[in-house]
Amino acid sequence: MAEKADVWQGTLALMVLRTLEVMGPQHGYGLARRIEQTSGDLLALNYGTLYPALLRLEQEGFIRSSWGASENNRRAKFYQLTKAGRRQVKKAAAEWEQTTEILSRFLQPAEEE
């Protein structure tokens, strides 16, 4: 089995926002597992990276949090998108689509002269 890769710089916020957009409110552990699952278990999500990202997204107004009970009845902080977060998902997704389009040009085999 291949070694899991770390989450790429600058992509975690988009992955979190998009996961919340698709799945609805989630707690941190659920978010981490879903992101890893969506990656086909190719990414390893470090909790030391996830929770500061969640705090930053909340401070920026893209998500909000509230306390609730997890599926195993434990107290957990749940995160959900705000209206600003929904706008940010669209903006960030468009930026990454453009970035990957540009990078794909560099990864194409060089044409022989």
Q: Which CATH number goes with the domain that contains 56? A: 1.10.10.10
Residue 62: inside a domain, yes or no?
A: yes
Over residues 52-110, the pLDDT tens digits come to 999 999 999 999 999 999 889 999 999 999 999 999 999 999 999 999 999 999 998 87
Residue 49: inside a domain, yes or no?
A: yes
Q: For the whole model, what pTM was predicted?
A: 0.85
Reported as a pLDDT band with limits 50, 70 and 90, residue 113 is low
Residue 113: inside a domain, yes or no?
A: no
Residue 83: inside a domain, yes or no?
A: yes
Residue 21: inside a domain, yes or no?
A: yes
Residue 28: inside a domain, yes or no?
A: yes
The number of domains in the chain is 1
Phi–psi pair at 43, nearest 5 degrees:
-105, 145
The predicted pLDDT at position 2 comes to 61
- Residue 56's Cβ-side half-sphere holds a number of Cα atoms within 13 Å equal to 12
